[in-house]
Structure 1
Amino acid sequence: MSKERFILFSLPPKRPTGRSHRALLVWGLLVVAANLRPSLTGVGPLLDRVQAELELAPAVAGLLSTLPLLAFAVMSPVVPRLAAQWGPERLLWAALVVLTLGIAVRWAPAAIGLFSGTVLIGAGIAVGNVLLPSLIKRDFPTRVGLLTSAYATVMGAVAAVASGVAVPISQVAPGGWHTALGCWIVLALVAVVLWLPQLRTSRPASEAIRRHRLPWGSALAWAVTAFMGLQSLGFYVVVTWLPQVLQDSGVSAAAAGWLLFLFQAVAVLTSLAVPAALRWARDQRAVATVSSVVLLAGYLGLLAAPGWALLWSVVLGLGGGACLVLALAFLSLRAQDATVAGALSAMAQSIGYLLAAAGPVIFGLLHTVGSGWQVPIILMCVAAAGQVIVAMVAGRGTVASSDGQAPERAPSPAPDRAPSPGQ
């Protein structure tokens, strides 16, 4: 074989850069994002029905929210290595297939199907959680804030709908709560099909990416990880237990589900305002700190005056929506490049979701031991106060590559204009 021919066959395939390809990539990312939460947030409003029908103890029922988070913690560190071997596009498609399979298995009318399907769902979502920030950093480096907000908004909107419609669907659909949880397989199948064109452009990563390590030695990376973990802990405690807290305050099951929907709907609307704040601010410290303080105010209000459930659902949504977008944006904004973004995402989501996994279980155990919600809510106030502190660190700086090629310094502002579908 000639030298020229050898070079030709050794070159990696070029990624298409046309308007249609980039538009399809944006839509694909958004549909993937739409699948990252509804299979989880639809569980909380149905938890009492699931617990009663399957005769589950409260701690065992809490595993339905904890198992996906444990899957996030276990899977996240290995995602960069798998992406290096398979290519991120192929790995993400395989994760969508696993997610679809998990929803199907969980639909089966048996406890073993419910829990094993939940584990598969968590594994599939974990891959998407890690890869989306890295793909955005790689393909849209000057649109990080906007596209992060876009996919967080889609993710939150679908999650909110899942919470709101869970009880109504279980009341009218054949199969009851099984169908309410299983109907999201349709959206997962759409994502599987829509992501297929990206498989043609996927390729294994370079040797440098294969050797890249997680930034365990970076203080900034730990601050980002703590912010991710604390806001995730709050989110999953709320989506798991807020309906029960409200029902014990005299709210009906359906109304509690819609108040959870309101919390997430407000969070979605809040997330739309974050890109403007990111463009206006020199860094994200002030935005992250204020958002965390609002979240703390919501927990304090729920503790002091639980009868004002509507108000505190709105306040928690205001703080939670902004903190979610910021936590996701930090994974790209604090990274030197797409490789570091993937490593930082893996680290933050592994440790962060391990912390978050303990939240719903501890919250439920504290309620069982104390026979009330005051002590568990105080725990959330402490967590929110800790989030205020780490926000002051996580909102500024750059995590360097593991080879030490760049110092940890504040990044220069990058344009963050809204892309048209062809940009």
Structure 2
Amino acid sequence: MPTANCSPSSRDIVTPLHKPWLLILGLVLVALNLRPALSSMAPLLAQVSASLGLSGSTAGLLTTLPVLCLGLFAPLAPLLARRFDSERVVLGVLLVLAAGIALRSQLGVWGLFIGSLVAGGSIGIIGVLLPGIVKRDFARQAGTMTGVYTMALCLGAALAAGSSVPLSQYFDDSWRIGLAFWMVPALLAAVFWLPQTRQKHGVQRARYRVSGLFRDPLAWQVTLFMGLQSSLAYIVFGWLPSILIGRGLSAAEAGLVMSFSIIVQLPSALTVPWLATRGRDQRVPILAVMALSLAGLFGLLYAPLSGMWGWAIVLGLGQGGVFALALTLIVLRSRDAHVAANLSSMAQGVGYTIASMGPFAVGLVHDMTGGWDAVGWVFAVIGIAATAAGMGAGRTLHVQAIATKVE
């Protein structure tokens, strides 16, 4: 039976973290693999569609499905972690991620969609577990470590966006190799993560049940902010190259612009959480990075192509900061690692399900209008809603959830 309102910090047996540098290295390598399966598809989407005979709506579904799976599979993460421990789950799911990436290049359309589903679900599970690990083992450096993790995540996305087309061209225009290559870093991350399954982390394991999250308004504001800002990010991952190709760029050029914009996310992903945790609350930083994100999106959609690289910088600075802030809020709004893990599951499970509607809406508007101009309305609606949710989530409060130990 659960005990009444027992404090996890007072009842757990605290143990020192052994070789923290090895955990940091593992976190960075795992984070590098949480976006290539998503960002590698967009620059190759036209080639994949032509090769497999995909319609515009089917291609749009292909960009939406992995994001939807991020949300649908996220609730499995805390259940698996309670059964097998977070470190073992991360290791196993990394191997499943590698298998999903490989499957996308096999068995035609069925393999493409099933592999995308497996990859998206794997990323959703790992993404939920990492903020809880950061809260548990680096509680005093939560902002800095979240920035490091987010920076690695952005770097992985940028490498995949910029390299997938050149890789496919090098191997006789084989989009299959361009997509399948990204199983290699996933397997490498699994090798370096393996030692984490053999050592104790922060507190010895005890089972906890967290209640009250879904009744808490602040938890819903954090969730909506995560989901709505992610919706804009996955529109970029899924559609920005197609938008730029529609404006006159080649596939390789469009992929490089997206890759460059994601690379620019690195400094803001690292610095914005650090700066935001030193202010009275996080509302002003949220407003600033959301404004940059929307300005960059509208610039790339409507402004002359001569200023394209400048708008890519603006977009990257905004989106790197806003995503890192969304992850930081999960940690800051939680009183302990158990609540953080469950808030992470809620924010990413429900949030990514909401986020999947953004790429779908862009594809739908494009099919209805035959062009890209009208998708600016999608940007505006999502951006305003994300800013409103962020103003609530950025207040210096804690979610009113209770973690109780299960005997």
Provide TM-score, normalisation by structure 2.
Answer: 0.91
Contact 2:224/2:347, CA 8 A, preserved across alignment:
yes
Contact 2:210/2:338, CA 8 A, preserved across alignment:
yes
SS in 1 for 2:74: helix
Q: Deviations over 1:156-215 (max 9, x none)?
A: 0121011011111111125711111111111111111111111123699523x1x22361
Which one is further off, 190-199 or 298-307? 298-307
Give me the whole-angstrom Cα distance separating, in 1, the residues matched to 2:199 and 2:274: 32
Give me the whole-angstrom Cα distance separating, in 1, the residues matched to 2:363 and 2:308: 19
Aligned to 1:377: 376
In the TM superposition, 1:216-235 aligns within 5 A as 216-235=214-233
1:312 Cα offset (Å)? 2.2
Contact 1:43/1:64, CA 8 A, preserved across alignment:
no
Aligned to 1:195: 193
In the TM superposition, 1:7-18 aligns within 5 A as 17-18=17-18
Q: 1:371 to 1:112 in 2, by over 3 A?
A: same
Contact 2:103/2:111, CA 8 A, preserved across alignment:
yes
Contact 2:339/2:403, CA 8 A, preserved across alignment:
no
In the TM superposition, 1:269-418 aligns within 5 A as 269-307=267-305, 308-396=307-395, 397-402=397-402
Aligned to 2:3: none
Give unpaired runs (5+ residues) of structure 2.
1-10
Aligned alpha-carbon RMSD (Å): 2.2
Contact 2:293/2:314, CA 8 A, preserved across alignment:
yes
Contact 1:225/1:352, CA 8 A, preserved across alignment:
yes
Give me the whole-angstrom Cα distance separating, in 2, the residues matched to 1:290 and 1:322: 9
SS in 2 for 1:386: helix
SS in 2 for 1:142: helix
Which one is further off, 113-122 or 39-48? 113-122
Give me the whole-angstrom Cα distance separating, in 2, the residues matched to 1:167 and 1:17: 42
Question: Quick check: which has more Rg, 1 or 2?
Answer: 1
1:327 maps to a residue whose letter is A
1:131 Cα offset (Å)? 0.4
Give me the whole-angstrom Cα distance separating, in 2, the residues matched to 1:91 and 1:202: 15
1:398 maps to a residue whose letter is H
Of 88, 95, 98, the residue aligned with 1:97 is 95
1:109 Cα offset (Å)? 5.3
1:311 Cα offset (Å)? 2.6
Aligned to 1:5: none
1:379 Cα offset (Å)? 1.1
Contact 2:17/2:200, CA 8 A, preserved across alignment:
no
1:265 maps to a residue whose letter is I
Which one is further off, 101-110 or 296-305? 296-305
Give me the whole-angstrom Cα distance separating, in 2, the residues matched to 1:133 and 1:200: 20
Q: 1:214 to 1:344 in 2, by over 3 A?
A: farther
Aligned to 2:168: 170
Contact 1:95/1:123, CA 8 A, preserved across alignment:
no
Question: How many matched pairs?
Answer: 391
Give me the whole-angstrom Cα distance separating, in 2, the residues matched to 1:97 and 1:150: 23
Give me the whole-angstrom Cα distance separating, in 1, the residues matched to 2:196 and 2:12: 15
Contact 1:335/1:341, CA 8 A, preserved across alignment:
yes
Identity %: 40
Q: 1:388 to 1:14 in 2, by over 3 A?
A: closer
Provide TM-score, normalisation by structure 1.
Answer: 0.88
Which segments of structure 1 move beyond 6 Å, counting only runs of 4 or more?
11-14
Which one is further off, 137-146 or 239-248? 239-248
Contact 1:227/1:391, CA 8 A, preserved across alignment:
yes
Give me the whole-angstrom Cα distance separating, in 1, the residues matched to 2:262 and 2:256: 10
SS in 2 for 1:280: coil
1:90 maps to a residue whose letter is R
Aligned to 1:161: 159
Q: Deviations over 1:197-253 (max 9, x none)?
A: 11123699523x1x2236111111111111101111000101111111111111121
Q: Deviations over 1:319-354 (max 9, x none)?
A: 111101001111111111000101110001111111
